[in-house]
Structure 1
Amino acid sequence: MLRFYFSLAGQQNVDDPFGLAFENELQAFRAAERFARELASTQPSLRGTTSVVVTRKDRDETYLIGV
């Protein structure tokens, strides 16, 4: 299992100190997409101003998904 960290960057900044385990990058990316959709739905003020940042620290990789 790989560990991915989900943070928010932009209008609202939140760091994820614990992360979540996923089998692969695709599963983590899909989870981040769901998270971004939920944020856009529940907190419309974050739309277009905040991104979900997915980090895989063992490879120093970062993925951004806009809210």
Structure 2
Amino acid sequence: MAGTPFPARRSSPMPRYHFDLIGKQTIIDQNGLDLADDILAADAADRLANELYSVRPELRQQHCSILVTDEEGEEICRSQIWDPVRD
């Protein structure tokens, strides 16, 4: 007896997030990154901001941030590259 085939599962694609560098000048993230949810996008922005804090110290003085937006262009979060406590 053959089993009843299950319909193919359609998993919705992961949402795409964009990580723009904003400050005196804005650098737009054209490609973005597919992540499961807003929390992971915010975590990725924090990691990126911390890395830029270390490797691009001039961005601290310009008070730059990472702006995260979703596919619709809605703001998810901002992660500061500068740290008022450390800078």
Greater helix proportion: 1
Unaligned 5+ residue runs, structure 1? none
Give the unaligned 5+ runs of structure 2.
Answer: 1-13, 82-87
How do 1:46-57 residues align onto structure 2 when only pairs under 5 Å count?
46-47=59-60, 49-57=63-71
Moved over 2 A (4+): none
| TM superposition shift of 1:11 | 3.3
* Letter aligned with residue 68 of structure 2: V
1:33 paired with 2:46, answer: yes
Match of 2:35 in 1: 22
- Asked which structure has the greater RCO (Cα within 8 Å, sep 6+), the reply is 1
Under a length normalisation based on structure 1, what TM-score does the superposition of the two structures give? 0.88
Match of 2:18 in 1: 5
Q: Please identify which structure carries the higher strand content.
A: 1
Q: What RMSD in Å do the two structures reach over aligned CA positions?
A: 1.3
Letter in 2 for 1:65: S
